Structure 1
Amino acid sequence: MNGRASPPAAVLTGLGGWLPPRVVTNDDLVRRLDTSDEWIRSRTGISRRHVIDPGMSTAALAVEAGALALKSSGGGDVDSVIVATTTPERLCPATAPLVAARLGLTGVAAHDVSAVCTGFLYALASAVGQIAAGLARRVLVIGAEAYSTIINPLDRQTAVIFADGAGAVVVEAGSPDEPGAIGPMVLGSDGELSDLITIPAGGSQQRSSGQPARPEDHYFQMRGRDVYRHAVERTTAAAQAALERAGWQAGDVDRFLPHQANARICSAIGDELGIPAERRAGNIDRVGNTAAASIPLLMADTVASGLLGPGDRVLLAAFGGGLTWAATTLTWPASAGLRQPTHPGSSTA
């Protein structure tokens, strides 16, 4: 024993989710796409999704969710704001400083994380690191996406899946053994497969090529079949590693909250892990794939519906472009602020 104290853990104390009021149903999409409600439901599990109105953007979503998370945690300031997003306000500067300023947090540390659908867990890991290193005692972590701004409205593969929304948590310095403490974080990537999920145009690679971008290259693109296979394999492996590091078995998990990629992927991961269907949470049918916002939105929904409560052992896992993947665990805290988070435009309606 060297006598040195263990670094503080990041403990969940606040939670909020927000969806833009505008709802797009499958029937709305059928009017412009060569598809059907049955086709969309059978392949994605989605029946409706929320999208922003003209003039709204990612920062507005992030501010709404962030404010709810701060209120849920009892209010007060934070030392750092981290925004995970694939749809920043601009290529430069980052979105997080703008969000912090709009929340009245001018002067605090603020930065973005770009890991597509894995973004929230990567941002959470950054918050864990800041707290462990003594750089912050209280951090606001937000996943916010306006995917409707980067999706080709005529692309049946992506237009039916992705949607807009934001979710946020507050984590504070605390003890590793108290409820709400974020468990071991598992993070991974494989840049050799970066072209499976991409927006080809707009970055330095395309701009320095000397070649004009095709119109379709400004939109989000995904090679669905390859993504499905890697999503199941990588997410399962990350979740298993997180369970092992936490000293848990799959049977110890009370609630599995995977990134809501699509219903078939979530089901396949749950089956691979051996977690029964009744212990898996999902809201993709009502909100679609909201990328970095997916997990915090699902957390808020599951708490609000009464399916997640104090003492429950929770497994979080995600997969996204990069390729990236991540997983972690926590025991749900008894904080009153987390029992019924406010959720305007509720996906549970």
Structure 2
Amino acid sequence: MDVGLFDFELPPERIALRPASPRDSARLLVLDGAETRDLLVSDLPGQLRAGDCLVFNDTRVIPAQLEGLRGEAKIGATLHKREGPRRWRAFIRNAKRLREGDTIDFGAGVSATASDRAEDGSFALDFAGDEPVELLLERCGRMPLPPYIASKRGTDERDAEDYQTMFAADPGAVAAPTAALHFTPGLIESLQAAGVAHTTLTLHVGAGTFLPVKAEDTDDHKMHAEWGRIDAGTADRLNAVRAGGGRVIAVGTTSLRLIESACSEDGVIRPFEGDTAIFITPGYRFRGIDGLITNFHLPKSTLFMLVSALMGLERMQAAYRHAIDTKYRFYSYGDASLLLP
């Protein structure tokens, strides 16, 4: 498909630089079949049915943004996928000053050697020493806020908490599963009281997920792979929800993509552990999910293509025009939508 079909104009002031406080006071645009409703995230229990199950991503964001020196050259690195116990694939800023075999000094006693430059310009970084890489990153890294936020303000102590969901448990993501940022313990209690269950899976979100598509046709775009896991107990539970007439509602496109990766043609969700590079565009037949809670996405992004596949391109274009006109807040710290096809 022509990538230009997924473009739209977003006024810069619609980009949220801080999350709503409290988290569940964010606005919620509900697309329920042909109906459109303007609500708050705290109204969610009344929009779902007893027997439904929300699926959250329990990945935890690591401080994956690094600044270092190769000699006197300043090098920036954004880790985006673990490739081994001490090896991470990283996007590099000032990559023209870096060659395979060079060592980058990130300060605080942390260094890494670059190797295996890929076609997309990324390098593998092998971290020196014996300490777990996660401990090294705590010393020298910072929270990897998306560029549309980081270009407007610096990362600060608030982001260390704001950019983690209440479910964050398994370290490995370099971007938050942002739809879940809206949830609070109180909201979960209200959902449980309404008969809405929840469970978790793990997908370590990579920085490539949120990048705009640079190809002119979707057939020419290559997704970055991300590692995920659905254990047997979670798969059985989700299958039982649907068998009992309930709906599986993915909280975030990351949860949705992993469920669809694990789902067979007959609609059965299987245990899954490994990489997924699933790319969902209009025409895709959804097998494992019945709805989605998600934030508002970038123009020409794979995520706007995904929601257009779920609800229809014209429906989503109209919904985004409505959101812009009525001053919804966009992107990672912005408002949410509930999409029920």
TM-score norm. by structure 2 comes to 0.31
**Structure having the higher Rg:** 2
